[in-house]
């Protein structure tokens, strides 16, 4: 029943994919398979996800850019309520797109998901009054293995959308390293 549309190598960045599941709707609402391992494998995306995470945030919250250092994770991210601007930045040493990023608006209406492979820093900005964000990971979270890059890194130069209010960023994220200074996977 599932089937997905996969847009590979977003913004020319190898491995980064937008996943669009088929949505079946009628006057009652809609149904969608948000994940089907067989469909993903047929698209060449064969991952074994071991952990699901969910967060809620209010408008203007900016989370990230985060990654795991010794235990990098592939993530499949989506929004189930509201809207976010989601960003993945390539931090793979030796990659021809090192320091390049891709950003996409993920909403409860567009059902888009972003597949972020190992070797990327990830973050998002909440655009709606409230958002619920879900993601699958192919490795467990290791609390002593967190890395990060400051959201406004001058070398990555992310074009974050305006939210017409001050950004809400926790102190930890305000004090992350630049790409040049960060300890990378």
CA distance 164 to 107: 19
Banded pLDDT at 73 (limits 50, 70, 90): very high
By percentage, how much of the chain surpasses pLDDT 90? 88
Residue 135 is a catalytic residue: yes
Mean pLDDT of the 46-56 span = 96
SS3 87: strand
**The predicted structure's pLDDT at residue 110:** 96
Residue recorded with tokens 């950003």:
103
Give the model's pLDDT for residue 99.
96
Which of 47, 85, 102, 135 does the annotation list as catalytic? 135
Instruction: Say if CB 89 and CB 154 are below 8 A apart.
Output: no
Whether 66 is catalytic is yes
- Give me the pLDDT at residue 54, please: 97
Q: Across all residues in the chain, what is the average pLDDT?
A: 94
pTM above 0.85, yes or no: yes
pLDDT score of 1 more than 90: no
On the question of pLDDT at 15 being above 90, the answer is yes
Bin 99: left if φ > 0, else alpha if -120 < ψ < 50, else beta: left
Q: How many residues does the chain have?
A: 185
Reading the block at residue 52, the tokens are 């699901």
pLDDT band for position 184 (50/70/90)? confident
Taken in order of first residue, the domains within the chain and their CATH numbers are 48-174 (2.60.120.10)
13: number of Cβ within 10 Å: 22
**Does residue 127 surpass a pLDDT of 70?**
yes
Catalytic residue, chosen from 24, 47, 66, 142, is 66
17-21 sheet: strands from edge to edge: 4-7, 17-21, 113-116, 75-81, 130-137, 51-58
At 2 the pLDDT is 58
């Amino acid at each position: 029943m599932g089937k997905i549309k996969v847009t590979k190598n977003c913004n020319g960045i190898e491995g980064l994919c937008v996943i669009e599941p088929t949505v079946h709707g009628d006057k009652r609402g809609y149904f969608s398979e948000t994940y089907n391992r067989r469909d993903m494998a047929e698209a060449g995306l064969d991952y074994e996800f071991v952990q699901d995470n969910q967060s809620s945030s209010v408008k203007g919250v900016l989370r990230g850019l985060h990654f795991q250092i010794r235990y990098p994770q592939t993530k499949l991210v989506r929004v189930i309520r509201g809207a976010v601007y989601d960003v993945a930045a390539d931090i793979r040493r030796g990659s021809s797109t090192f320091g390049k990023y891709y950003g996409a608006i993920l909403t409860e209406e567009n059902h888009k998901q972003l597949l972020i492979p190992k070797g990327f820093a990830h973050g998002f900005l909440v655009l709606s009054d409230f958002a619920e964000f879900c993601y699958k990971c192919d490795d467990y979270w290791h609390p002593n293995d967190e890395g990060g890059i400051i959201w406004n890194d001058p070398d990555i130069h992310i074009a974050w959308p305006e939210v017409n209010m001050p950004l809400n960023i926790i102190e930890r994220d305000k004090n992350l390293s630049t790409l040049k200074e960060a300890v990378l996977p």
